[in-house]
Structure 1
């Protein structure tokens, strides 16, 4: 799957080239989250199947989603990774999110993705995660990407393994940490864009 990164709507700038970037794959459009996406993101983040392994029981409200959007915008403006809404290229509705969010103390950016259940099993999470990783490696210049999942979350583990993530450690609370080095990624750069293998 090829992923391309393009400017979006003039929201990027020479000082902060990452801000406002869109990612496009064979089947998906990923656009930086904005306040107009809040209701759709709330629907994704509060879906019981999506929530099962996500955010360790944090209360997700309209205010929480609005703050996540603001935090993502700040990260993009600072030249770091934020969150994108995910849409199928042939459909308008938001079907999920992908990108990077800070977790832990001290804050550490982690790959994060989630799709509404009706879009599971089609390889779309892998496609969205590939686009996010391509952006981090080739646009932001990251040397590695980290992700954390609950041990029972075998679907997310499969996505990470397909991308080349390797286990780093597992904590007593059942959180498995993974890392993907730029050189170990199962992404082939073709014409400046990433293709999953």
Structure 2
């Protein structure tokens, strides 16, 4: 089973991915993040998120996709083949929303990228999400430094993706409490687990 979490900056997707991993700990899930998760992916992550670097929009897309393909080959596909649950903090929908929707780079879903069974999309005001990062005292990476308009375009692209694939996407209100959102995630995952027991 392949579960992904998506959302704009500061939406809480990382927290929810971690909470789901803890809840499923007895099933030995494989947790991954993007970009990263492999030696190559982590090196690409450093380049992509370095705040002092300007990257062409199409080159940026290919870097994200190179990191993702390596993660698929090294971690995701082997885990899925073994029947493990994979939980991803971001996946290809991020490229469709950020590079496709916000940057206007034409992109599709590569046939070699496994499709998730379910994608949780955490939605909320982009200003609030960006504010959470600032309140936590975190330094901004290259993506977080983008304008509010950019982040709004990302949110709109995510909404479009979810509207056009309602079988896969579960839309969650990111303004709810951490525990409330986690319970909603669990409620959606439980039926998927029933066939595995």
Same fold per superposition (TM over 0.5): no
Higher relative contact order at CA 8 Å, sep ≥6: structure 1 or structure 2? 2
More helix by proportion, 1 or 2?
Answer: 2
Q: Please, what TM-score do these two structures have when normalized by structure 1? A: 0.30
More strand by proportion, 1 or 2?
Answer: 1
Q: Please, what TM-score do these two structures have when normalized by structure 2? A: 0.30
